[in-house]
A = this chain, B = another copy of it.
Amino acid sequence: MSTRIAFVGGTGPEGLGLAMRFARAGNMVYIGSRSEERAAEAVAFVKEKVPDGDVFGGLNLEGAEKAEVIFITVPSDAHESTLEELAEAINDKIVVDVVVPMVFDKDGPRAIDLEEGSAAQQAGRIASEAKIISAFHHLDGKELQKIDRPVQGDVLVCGDHNGAKKKVMDLVEQIEWVRALDAGPLSNARYLENWTVVLMHLNKLYKAHAGVRITGI
């Protein structure tokens, strides 16, 4: 079933990669940006890889208004302000928060502790009617963009709204070879977000594009 999906801050590697995969799976994809020009460039880039895709773009606000499911793929430092701008438009929709709160210091990337516990919980504080789901932290954006190759790895999904979680898990499994796993309540979002920092260290040490697979399930 086709879903109207918007990417808020969809011009980065993760947003582009997911947009390609979801467009190819037959969904309507809207790439949002703070700049209409950059959104248009991103749409053109995605349509090159997925010529038949239903792909549109424009300002973040318009995406949040039009979509059923809103992915937050902005840089960490724009997370809070972006949510504040869009909370009204988001209303009670499904929000998939992909953001990892972090900074870089001498040891490499490091997680930032947010008062709310995680980026996803911060989104929930701001867009308080929305159904917040935390997911898609561990698929590499560049690998996602290699559209003709399957992506290795699991997507762990956590949240407190079971219907929304199921909907997002169904979206996950539209991506070939990728498995969705229910990782419990939204209070687990911090652990999922922070695991990305580990993957980034591994990427650097092993010159890799690391992902995660859960064994034993």
Q: Interface residues, chain A, CB within 8 Å of chain B? A: 107-108, 110-111, 140, 143, 152-153, 156, 181-185, 187-188, 190-192, 194-195, 197-199, 201-202, 205-206, 208-217
Contact = CB atoms under 8 A, between A and B. Distances in A.
Chain multiplicity (copies): 2
Contacts of A156: 198
B152 A181 contact: no
A151 to B, nearest CB: 9
Contacts of A212: 212-215
Given A184-B202, A184-B205, 6 more contacts: A107-B184, A107-B187, A156-B198, A195-B195, A202-B214, A208-B216
Sorted nearest first, the 7 A-B pairs with minimum C-beta distance are A184-B201, A152-B215, A211-B215, A191-B194, A213-B213, A208-B217, A210-B216
